[in-house]
Structure 1
Amino acid sequence: MAFEIEDKLLRARPKKLGLGTAYIHGLKHASGNFVVIMDADLSHHESNNFRKQIKTGADIVTGTRYVRGGGVELLKKPKS
């Protein structure tokens, strides 16, 4: 089953099969010049760095929160 919201396509899967298979499922149905994969929990944020790298003609642009300077600055783990 597929749902379209403006220029987004949402494809429902019958059950949870893991994050990796969700990525593969999405990529099989993706079209367009660019494909962006992001988590829904706001642990990633859109960055102008992606746009800059795409303009260089790069085939793949990736980012990670696990390197210095990566991550979302506004989200912090609550102190207990």
Structure 2
Amino acid sequence: MKTWFVYMIRCTDGTLYTGSTNHVIRRWHQHRRGDGAKYLKAHKPKEVVYVELFPNRSQACSREYQIKQFTKQEKESLITY
């Protein structure tokens, strides 16, 4: 069984991108190269600012969806927690 992660990336324009993966470092490098998410092609990724661990993909995807519904202020409060 693979571990899954939900992560947030702060972009150079201050926006936040939320995603899920089973390998955060690999996914970060893909985003930096411009592979994957359309959003990050238009908003250059600056740094990974938040990571949560989950036992399976289903739980990670559910949490990703939940976080995507948050306001920016709610997302920022997760990061500073």
TM class, shorter-chain normalised?
under 0.3
- The structure richer in strand per residue is 2
TM-score (ref. length: structure 1): 0.24
- The structure richer in helix per residue is 2
TM-score (ref. length: structure 2): 0.24
